[in-house]
Amino acid sequence: MTRAGVTVPGRASVVAENERLLGLLVGQGFGNRTIATILQVSEKSVEGRLGRMFARAGYRSRTELMTAMQDPGFSG
């Protein structure tokens, strides 16, 4: 990833790990409010992150996300 045209080393891996954690929390059955509390972010941030994950990967639900995460080749 870049910021103002400058590559930020390791940022892509941090984003991927954060999305993986978010997916795991969803998989544990936690709702957005609980996930927000755990991650110390707003509930709207969780909604936005999930929405972007779903849109980018073509998921329409938490169930589809969890099914995809069961695949050993899952990359988010």
Query: Residue 1 domain-assigned?
Result: no
Looking up residue 47, the CATH number of its domain turns out to be 1.10.10
Query: Residue 51 domain-assigned?
Result: yes
6 contacts: CB under 8 Å, gap ≥ 6:
none
Give residue 71's pLDDT band: very low, low, confident or very high (50, 70, 90).
confident
Residue 48: its pLDDT value, please? 94
Contact 25, 37 (CB under 8 A): no
Tell whether the model's pLDDT for residue 1 goes beyond 60: no
Query: Residue 40 domain-assigned?
Result: yes
Residue 43: its pLDDT value, please? 96
Q: Of 13, 35, 22, 23, nearest to 67 (Cα)?
A: 23
d(CA 46, CA 42): 7
pLDDT tens for each residue of 32-70: 999 999 999 999 999 999 998 888 888 888 888 888 777
